[in-house]
A = this chain, B = another copy of it.
């Protein structure tokens, strides 16, 4: 057996998230089928993490074991020919048999994008949450600084989180602005269910003046989901990059 790792990119708009589920039409289903068409093998795909319905990925990482002897430099092209236009394999390499795309992920970066202009950019409407409100960016940036470091992120986790520990370490969180288009990049060793979207929803309250940066910090410390803002729309979120030691 071989263990194949791939970096993949997908537009989440039309899929029911990454992970296979009874309702069907997931990114995992489509990938599994394409690999089956290529190799005749029904492989089990492991991802760095699932993404929800509507969420996109620029650099999702997956791995799977298979017996196929197709040379590693042929995989990306061969699979792309068998995948729909909204899913693409960017890179493939062979990794040790014990490599696991989720357990071995050392760091992940997510991007959340917002369009604050009065009228949404039609070319980005599936990628950018349209939120046409004046936002206080300095206060939002001050609030974000509270996230840096190791904290219990219970306030920013879905109540449906099944993780035993809600402690995660955030190493970077920055908010960029270009003509009313905002990009939040947030990097950490791991993220809880809906964490980036709840952080964004709460940050928008700070931007609008419903909360101050000090309230944001207080909410984080309270470990209480009910104090935080809403879960921001899924289509503004992209799994940007996953980093491994090797």
A162 CB → nearest B CB, Å: 30
Please indicate the chain B residues that have their CB under 8 angstroms from the CB of A9 in the complex.
121-123
Inside 8 A of A80's CB, which chain B residues have their CB? 119
Q: Are B122 and A86 in contact (CB under 8 A)?
A: yes
Does A179 reach chain B (CB closer than 8 Å)? no
Say if the beta carbon of A90 comes within 8 Å of chain B: yes
A129 at the interface (CB under 8 A from B): no
Tell me whether A88 is interfacial, beta carbon within 8 Å. Answer: yes
Are B119 and A85 interface neighbours, CB within 8 A? no
- Residue A174 interfacial (CB < 8 Å): no
Return A81 CB to nearest CB of chain B, in Å.
11
Is A76's CB within 8 Å of the partner chain B? yes
- What is the interface of chain A, defined by CB distance below 8 A to chain B? 9-11, 56, 58, 76-77, 80, 85-90, 118-123, 125, 127
Complex Cα distance, B121 from A11, in Å, reads 10
- Which residues does chain B contribute within 8 Å of A90, judged by CB atoms? 119
Q: CA A218 – CA B58 in complex, angstroms?
A: 43
Are A123 and B11 in contact (CB-based, < 8 A)?
yes
Contacts of A118 in B (CB 8 A): 76-77
Nearest residue, chain B, Cβ from A121: B9
User: Among the listed B76, B85, B86, B123, which residue makes an inter-chain contact with A56, where contact means beta carbons less than 8 Å apart?
Assistant: B123
* B residues in contact with A121, CB < 8 Å: 9
Most interface-central of A11, A86, A122, A125 (chain B CB within 10 A)? A122
Bound complex: CA of A123 vs CA of B119, how far in Å? 20
